[in-house]
Structure formats: C-alpha cells, structure tokens
Chain A
C-alpha cells in the first residue's frame, strides 16, 4: 500500500529565517506531487506541482520554492520567511498510471512565522 509522510508536523520560525519542509511517498513510482497551503478557515491554494524529477510548476509567485531531487521526494523551501507564510502546508500525490486517479494527502505541517 501507499503512504505519504510529511515532516515536521509543526514548526515555529522567526521572520527572515529559512524553511525546508519535506514530503516523501512510499509504495508507488512516478507519482505527480503537489504542495498546497491552507490558511485558517479557507480552501486549499495550490503552490507547486511536479510531474517528474526536477520538473516543477509554480502556481503562485512568492518567496517559496520547491524541488524534487528524487522520484518520491518533494521539498518546499524558502530563503527568508514572511509573516504571511504562516499556514497549514499539505503535500499530496496522484498516481499517473491507467485507471482511476485519486489525489491522496499527507498529514500536513503547521507553520507559524513569528
């Protein structure tokens, strides 16, 4: 079976500090990978998605970046955090083979920028 991991689960960082959030998927190969941000009481905002190693599509211009160094690893980064970067960050994957293709989510990382 497939599982998706995110870490850390919670993070408190000062403004201007760097950020690295990691997401890994087990039990599948060549998935599409996604990073979303969810502000309090709101829907999901797609930040980045990747269809393969080194292939990143950015959806929202901001001070965040993403990388996919391995097939099942997706990293969200920032060089200098802003207060507005606070939120709940969710990683998701989608199988790209034939058949039904649902999106599956990780447990999320709660980021508070102080």
Chain B
C-alpha cells in the first residue's frame, strides 16, 4: 500500500525567505502527484500537478519537482509572504489496481511571519 509522508509537520519562517516542503512516497508506480493548499476550516485548493513523466511544474512563485525513482517531491516557495501561511498537502495517484484513489500525506503547516 502506498504511504505518503510529509516532513516537517510544521515550519515557521520570516517573510521573504525561500523555503522547501518535502513529500515522500513508498511506491514509485504513480500516475501523478498533486500539491494542495488548505486554509483553516476550508477545503483543499489545488496548486500544482506533476505527471509521472514530468520533472517539475511551475506556477508563479511555486515550483514543484518530482523524482519518481527516489519517491520524492518538493514544493519550493520563493519569497514567502504572510499570505502563504496555510497547510500544504501532497497526494499521489498510484498506477495499478488502485488507480482511482489518491493517497495523502498529513501535511506541513507553514507560518510566514511578517
């Protein structure tokens, strides 16, 4: 069974700092990996999706990379702002019998201090 881990569980940084969030998964047979943002008490907002054939995706100040062979993805946030404070979750969609499911990490809670 696919297991997804996100480290650290929480991160606090001063405004303006560049930062990296980590996501690791145990089975490299995946269709894609998706990064989400969740604000307190809200649903998840999709940030970036990386297909298994891709190495990275970029959207504005966000850059997500994927190293399928090592079972790792990173979300890079440039020039962090207080508005980036939220919980960030990653999810993988596996190949094989469970291809309709998504496996989520527990998230990294980010606090960007003004």
Chain A interface residues toward B at CB < 8 A: 32, 34, 42-44, 46, 49, 51, 57, 59, 88, 90, 92, 100-108, 110
Q: Please give me the 5 A-B residue pairs with the lowest Cβ-Cβ distance, nearest first.
A: A43-B106, A105-B43, A105-B44, A44-B104, A107-B43
B91 within 8 A of A: yes
18 contacting pairs across A/B (C-beta < 8 A): A32-B100, A42-B106, A43-B4, A43-B89, A44-B104, A49-B100, A57-B100, A59-B101, A101-B93, A102-B46, A103-B91, A103-B102, A105-B36, A105-B43, A105-B45, A107-B42, A108-B42, A110-B41
Collect the chain A residues with CB atoms within 8 Å of residue B34's CB.
Answer: 102-103
Query: Known contacts A103-B91, A108-B42, A110-B41; is A43 also within 8 Å of B104 by CB?
Result: yes
Query: Known contacts A42-B106, A44-B104, A49-B101; is A100 also within 8 Å of B51 by CB?
Result: yes
B49 within 8 A of A: yes
Interface string of B26-62 (1 = CB under 8 A from A): 0000011010100001111110010100000000000
Query: Known contacts A43-B107, A46-B102, A49-B100; is A106 also within 8 Å of B43 by CB?
Result: yes
A100 touching B49, Cβ below 8 Å: yes
* Cross-chain pair count, CB within 8 angstroms: 50
Please, how many angstroms separate the alpha-carbon atoms of A108 and B39 in the complex? 12
Please, how many angstroms separate the alpha-carbon atoms of A9 and B22 in the complex? 31
Collect the chain B residues with CB atoms within 8 Å of residue A46's CB.
Answer: 101-102
By beta carbon, the residue of chain A nearest B51 is: A100
Given A57-B100, A108-B42; 8 other pairs, CB 8 A cutoff? A51-B100, A100-B32, A101-B31, A102-B34, A102-B46, A105-B46, A107-B43, A108-B43
B71 within 8 A of A: no
Collect the chain B residues with CB atoms within 8 Å of residue A106's CB.
Answer: 43
By beta carbon, the residue of chain A nearest B48 is: A102
By beta carbon, the residue of chain B nearest A108 is: B43
